[in-house]
Structures are given as C-alpha cells and as structure tokens.
Amino acid sequence: MSRPVILTAALTGGADTAHLNPAIPVTPEQIANEGIAAAKAGATIVHIHVRDPKTTKASLELAHYKEVVDRIRESKVNVLINLTTGPGARFTPGDVDPVGLGPGTTMKSPEFRVQHIQELKPDLCSLDIATMNFGEYAFVNTPPHLRKMAELIGKTKVKPEIEVFDLGHVRLAADLVAKGMFKAPPLFQLCLGIPWGAPASTEGMIAMRNLLPAGAVWAGFGISRFQFPMVAQAVILGGHARVGLEDNLYIEQGKLAPGNAALVERAVEIIKAIGEHPASPDEARKILGM
C-alpha cells in the first residue's frame, strides 16, 4: 500500500517577487484562481498570503483574504485552505535610533495577526515559531506573542501549521507542544534554505526532523533550486511536502514556472515515482486529526 503524502501549494508569499515572474498572482482573483488550479493539479492544501493589487507587495488587508477564501469555497474545489499569520513580524532598526522602527517594519499585535483566522475560519493556518535574521531584516516572533497567537487560534478550532526555520525553533515549538498549546497531533513545516535559517539539505532536514516531539506530523520544503530535491527527500524520510511560487519561481533551470499548477504536477510526479500518492483532503484530515 502506498502512503498518502499531503502536498501543499504555497501560492504567492509575501516577498517582493512579482516583478521576477509574471505568473506570480497578485489580485485576490488571481490568487484564488491559482489555488483552484493547484488543487485540480493534485495539491491537498493551498497556503495563502495576499498582496496589494496596486503595489504587488505583501498586504495585511482582511478584505483581500476574504475575497480569496470566498472564491475558492464558491468554486467547490476539494482542497484545504491554509492562511498565513506570518505578516506583521518584520523589524528593521531605525537608522539613527536602533530602538526605533526603521523603514520596512511591519510589527503588529498577536490579535491583529490572527484576525483573519478568527473571521474566516480556514482549515489551517501557519504559525511561525521563529525569531531570526530573514534576509536583510529581522523576523520577530517572541514566546509571549506565540503563546497568545496559539491561544487565539486554538479558540477558533483551526489547525495550526507550526513553521520552523532552524533547530532552536523546533526546540521552542516542542516546548509549546509539551505545555499543551496545540491539539495532537501537532503539524510541523520544516522550512529550509531561507536566509539565514537551516540549509536545504538532507542533513538539515534530518536534524530538524529528529528533534520533533513524538507523534508529530511533519512536512518539509526547500526554496529555489532545492524545491524539488526537498520534495523527494521529505517523502523518503516519511514526511509530507510543499511546493509553489512562494518558494520557487522556476519549473527547471532557466525556465520560469507558468503557474503553481505546473509545480504541483512536478511534485506529484516525484511522489508517485517514489511509490506514494498525493493525499486527498479527506485523507489529510485523518492524518492531521481534524
């Protein structure tokens, strides 16, 4: 019997990438359409950020999330919806006063960062257990903020996807699990290759997997050229996988991906080649205890 592998499609992300690939969805309609196409291509879950249609940059606008979710639900496509809670954690120190807020800072309260989860009740939502250098800025998620967000998410009955970017993040998340902050089984996403977190390598994935609490369900992904190798590695190691334009803009070296569906189709090929099969949303619900 082949094993069902949960396959997530991360549709657009929040990085300033829209000018790098014309397939990056920007408007709520485009993001929803990408999610529907990814589901039809074999994705079990669609992971959703939203963007400002005018600037193409990341947005925190509740109305944009609502339009994306409504469009996907109205399409009747069978897919689990996962909304990010990552935006609102970026910090850059002031140029003159490093204690002040520099340009690009987006810091928001825990309550603000989960308002769209409370309002829209998706199937899942991400929760970044990470304070780290993230490219040229700091990504700040302090333990008190994480505990508050976990508490608020828990009241909605939405399944948290615990995103970890390095070994210390796994240790902190495992402590939160031990303290009963998450309903069993906890779901972890091992995020690899992001500057400056754990590398997208076999050794990096194994090291993080080996620190997970007993009974955890986990998935892993690598960014850029490591996207597809990490799909294979995660499946071989007993985990689940993620692809999408949030993490990688190319379908092969030198060739831009025409959309999320193409990345999903390639991941499905890899999963099947290893002898497993993409999980249906119903299979995923059983695996995740939803």
Q: Cα 110 to the chain's mean position, in Å?
A: 18
Q: With a cut of 90, say whether residue 88 has pLDDT above it.
A: no
For residue 262, the model assigns a pLDDT of: 98
Q: With a cut of 90, say whether residue 95 has pLDDT above it.
A: no
For residue 91, the model assigns a pLDDT of: 87
The angle subtended at Cα 185 by Cα 180 and Cα 189, nearest 5°, is 100
For residue 136, the model assigns a pLDDT of: 85
On average, the pLDDT of the chain sits at 96
Categorize the per-residue pLDDT at 135 as very low, low, confident or very high, splitting at 50, 70 and 90: confident
Q: With a cut of 90, say whether residue 199 has pLDDT above it.
A: yes
Question: What is the rounded CA–CA span in Å between residue 145 and residue 108?
Answer: 10
Q: With a cut of 90, say whether residue 102 has pLDDT above it.
A: no
Tokens of residue 26, six digits: 């920007």
* Domain segments of the chain as ranges: 4-288
Beta bridge partner(s), residue 124 = 82, 159
Which CATH number applies to 4-288: 3.20.20.70, 3.40.190.80, 3.40.1050.10, 3.40.190.10? Answer: 3.20.20.70
Q: With a cut of 90, say whether residue 93 has pLDDT above it.
A: no
Strand 4-5 versus strand 7-10 pairing type: unpaired
What are 232-258's pLDDT values in tens digits?
999 999 999 999 999 999 999 999 999
Question: What is the rounded CA–CA span in Å between residue 33 and residue 27?
Answer: 10
